[in-house]
Homo-oligomer: A and B are copies of this chain.
């Protein structure tokens, strides 16, 4: 990754409120991006998280994206670029880098790809080397399938979606428009359904599908099970991180954030705007209202109304969990205190007439 940006171009790109620095700083050309502690004189850095504010003063960065109201001034030879939100400003810079690093690959099907004659690939789409597309699969306009992707029978990928190498979309599953799927993601594995029959378990066929609405992102090696019947649904704009498990018949609302290694058990329904912390788990057949939040590693076993924030395993309301965590650390002290109370009481009883 390399960039080449004048301060002026940077200010324009980030819609800067102000640019500060001496003549040397303002004449600088930036060729890299780095964290405050790591940056050198040719690097752009940024203050995205207030906890790193003290690092600005000692950073050797050639230019720093800082919040408009950041106190202090740049060091000699250093520029401050004042913006509303440095994180977002950096994202704009990175988007420009990304567009040059990863231009959309050329339209067309790589000769090594195996495309069933009954599949339908839009002429503006890209299908990379080693892909396999079965009968009835369809790829929309400007969609990109990088190397070794697989689309099952009747599976579809919408316009402008981008599948990184080695994504699997199972038979009859649907990927909407502008989705982004990372390597190893599996859309449409069988749901885990078994029924005891006599002394053995019998598999319950899973004949539904997975539907990813538009603007959904799916992380690397994440698995989404097809519904027992009907649909497992991920709502528009929802983003799912790596190694997440979404079981059959789950319905996730719109604009949710599901972080890495979360598991959501079967038939659970999430509202819009929910945020699930890393490694948290949600039991089956639950209903979570809009905007529900779940802490990292929490384990949820009950319904939660809109706006609820739960933590711990089993999960309880966030404030209660925080008190429980603090008091749990004081258990050794509490046990001692109760023992000494008991002793004092005994002594008092002996003295009593």
Contacts and interface: CB of A to CB of B under 8 A. Distances in A.
Contact of A265 (B91, B220, B278, B352): B278
Given A183-B170, A323-B331, A217 B203 contact: yes
Given A296-B281, A331-B323, A342 B348 contact: no
Contact of A1 (B32, B209, B265, B316): B209
A166 B165 CA distance: 11
Contacts of A341: 338, 341-342, 345
Contacts of A110: 114
A18 interface: no
B165 A152 contact: yes
A241 B98 CA distance: 31
B201 A88 contact: no
B345 A205 contact: no
A23 interface: no
A345 B348 contact: yes
Given A204-B91, A220-B223, A245-B260, A166 B194 contact: no
Copies of this protein in the complex: 3
A261 B323 CA distance: 29
Contact of A180 (B112, B203, B255, B332): B203
A11 interface: no
Interface string A141-176: 000000110101000000000001110101110000
A162 to B, nearest CB: 10
Interface stretch (A53-61, A73-81, A128-136): A128-136
B34 A91 contact: no
A243 interface: yes
Interface in A303-343: 313-314, 316, 320, 323-325, 327-332, 334-335, 337-338, 341-342
A351 interface: yes
A192 B277 CA distance: 13
A344 B334 contact: no
A229 B334 contact: no
A224 to B, nearest CB: 9
A279 interface: yes
A94 interface: yes
